Chain A
Amino acid sequence: MTTYFNEMYDNGAVRAPYARLEDWMRHMPAELRQMKQAEAETLFRRIGITFAVYGEGGDPDRLIPFDMFPRVFTAPEWTRLERGIKQRARALNMFLADVYGRGEIVKAGRIPARLVYENEAYEKAVVGFVPPKGVYSHIVGIDLVRTGPDEFFVLEDNCRTPSGVSYMLENREIMMRMFPDLFRENRIQPVDSYSERLRRTLASVAPAKCTGEPRVVLLTPGHFNSAYYEHSFLADLMGVELVEGQDLFVEGEFVWMRTTEGPKKVDVIYRRIDDAFIDPLCFRPDSMLGVPGLMDVYRSGGVAICSAPGAGVADDKAVYTFVPEMVRFYLGEEPILNNVPTWQCGKSDDLKYVLDNLPELVVKEVHGSGGYGMLVGPKSTKAEVEAFRLKILDDPDNYIAQPTLALSTTPTFVAEGIAPRHVDLRPYCLVGESIDLVPGALTRVALKDGSLVVNSSQGGGVKDTWVLAE
Chain B
Amino acid sequence: MLSRTADNLYWIARYMERADIAARLLEVGSRITLMPSTHGYRNEWDSLLQSSGTANGFSHKYGDPVQRNLESWLFFDRDNPSSVASCITAARENGRIVRTALTSQVWDALNTAFQELRQLERTPRSELELSRLTEWVMRHTAMVRGAIDATLLRNDGYNFLNIGYYLERGDNTARMLDVKYYVLLPRIEFVGSGLDNYQWTTLLRAMGAHRAFHWAYGGEVTAAKIADFLILNPQSPRSLITCLSGVNNHLTRLAKAYGRTMPAQGKATAMLNELETTNVEAIFDEGLHEFLSRFIRDSAELGTAIHESYLSGDLR
Interface residues, chain A, CB within 8 Å of chain B? 45-48, 222-223, 228, 232-233, 235-236, 241-244, 246-247, 257-263
Chain B interface residue count, CB cutoff 8 Å, equals 28
Known contacts A48-B99, A262-B315; decide if A247 and B2 are in contact (CB<8 Å).
yes
Known contacts: A223-B97, A236-B99. The answer to whether A244 contacts B4 by CB under 8 A is: yes
B108–A260 CB distance below 8 A: no
Residues of A within 8 A of B215 (CB): none
Complex CA–CA separation, A236 to B100 (angstroms): 5
Please give, as numbers and ranges, the residues of chain A lying within 8 Å of B160 by CB-CB distance. 260
Q: How far is the CA of A235 from the CA of B100 in the complex (A)?
A: 7
Closest 8 CB pairs of A and B: A258-B313, A236-B100, A232-B99, A260-B310, A223-B97, A258-B3, A262-B315, A260-B6
Q: Mask for B16-57, Cβ within 8 A of A = 1, else 0?
A: 000000000000000000000000000000000000000000
CB neighbours of A48 from chain B (8 A): 96, 99, 107, 111
Q: B residues within 8 A CB of A232?
A: 96-97, 99-100
Which chain B residues border A222 with CB–CB below 8 Å?
A: 97
Contact A223 B1 (CB under 8 A): no
List, in ascending order, chain A residues with CB within 8 A of B1's CB: 241, 259-260
10 contacts between A and B (CB under 8 A): A45-B111, A48-B107, A223-B93, A233-B99, A244-B4, A257-B2, A258-B2, A258-B314, A259-B3, A260-B160
Set of chain A residues within 8 Å of B4, measured between Cβ atoms: 244, 246-247, 258
> Which A residues are CB-close (under 8 A) to B99?
48, 232-233, 236
B residues 87-137 near A (Cβ < 8 Å) are 93, 96-97, 99-100, 104, 107-108, 111-112, 115
Chain B nearest CB: distance from A420 CB in Å?
A: 34
Considering only residues 192-222 of chain B, those with a C-beta below 8 Å from chain A are: none
Question: Please, how many angstroms separate the alpha-carbon atoms of A246 and B260 in the complex?
Answer: 24
B298 interface residue (CB < 8 Å to A): no
Nearest-CB residue, chain A, relative to B310: A260
Query: Complex: how many Å from CA A247 to CA B316?
Result: 13
B77 at interface (Cβ–Cβ under 8 A)? no
Given A223-B97, A232-B99, A236-B100, decide whether A243 and B2 contact each other with a Cβ distance below 8 A. Answer: yes
In this complex, the member of A242, A259, A263 whose beta carbon has the largest number of chain B beta carbons within 10 angstroms is A259
Which one of A45, A232, A257 has the greatest number of beta carbons of chain B within 10 Å?
A: A232
Name 14 extra pairs, CB < 8 A, besides A223-B93, A247-B313, A258-B2.
A46-B108, A46-B115, A48-B107, A222-B97, A232-B96, A241-B1, A241-B100, A246-B313, A259-B2, A260-B258, A260-B310, A261-B315, A263-B315, A263-B316
For B107, the chain A residues whose CB sits under 8 A away are 48
Query: Across the interface, which residues of B come within 8 angstroms of A47, CB to CB?
Result: 104
- A260 with B315: CB separation less than 8 A: yes
Report whether over half of chain A's contact residues are helix, strand or loop; otherwise say mixed: mixed
The answer to whether A260 touches B3 (Cβ under 8 A) is yes
A262 and B260 CA atoms in complex are apart in Å by: 11
Tell me, in angstroms, the Cα distance from A381 to B311 when the chains sit together. 58
Q: Is the CB of B112 within 8 A of A46?
A: yes
Residue of A whose beta carbon sits closest to that of B313: A258
Bound-state CA distance A258–B311 (Å) is: 9
User: Of all chain A residues, which has the CB nearest B6?
Assistant: A260
Within the complex, the shortest CB–CB distance from A194 to chain B, in Å, comes to: 17
Closest to A222 in B: B97
State the Cβ distance, B63 to closest chain A Cβ, in Å. 34
A262:B111 contact, CB within 8 angstroms: no
CA distance A318 to B2 in the complex (A): 41
- A258 vs B111: C-alpha distance in the bound complex, in angstroms? 28
* Docked-complex contact B3 and A247, CB < 8 angstroms: yes
Residues in A whose Cβ lies below 8 Å from that of B96 = 48, 223, 228, 232
Residue of A nearest to B156 (CB): A260
Residue from the set B260, B310, B314, B315 with the largest chain A CB neighbour count within 10 Å: B315
Contacts of A228 in B (CB 8 A): 96
Q: Which residues of A contact B112 (CB under 8 A)?
A: 46
Smallest CB gap from B315: residue in A: A262
Residue of A nearest to B258 (CB): A261
Contacts of A260 in B (CB 8 A): 1-3, 6, 156, 160, 254, 258, 310-311, 315
Residue from A223, A259, A260 whose CB has the most chain B CB atoms within 10 Å: A260
Closest to B3 in A: A258
Please measure, in the bound complex, the distance between the C-alpha atom of A379 and the C-alpha atom of B108, giving whole angstroms. Answer: 43
Residues of chain B from 279 to 316 with CB closer than 8 A to chain A in the complex: 310-311, 313-316
Contact A261 B2 (CB under 8 A): no
Bound-state CA distance A344–B104 (Å) is 49
A262 to B6, CA, bound (A): 13
How many Å from the CB of A58 to the closest CB on chain B?
A: 14
Closest to B115 in A: A45
Q: What's the minimum C-beta distance from B102 to chain A, rounded to whole angstroms? A: 9
Compute how far the CA of A243 lies from the CA of B100 in the bound complex, rounded to whole angstroms: 11
Measured in the bound complex, the distance between the Cα atoms of B314 and A263 in whole Å is 9
Nearest A residue to B118 via CB reads: A61
Please give, as numbers and ranges, the residues of chain B lying within 8 Å of A259 by CB-CB distance.
1-3, 313, 315
- Shortest Cβ distance from residue B108 to the other chain A in the assembled complex, whole angstroms: 6
Most buried by B among A48, A242, A247, A262: A48
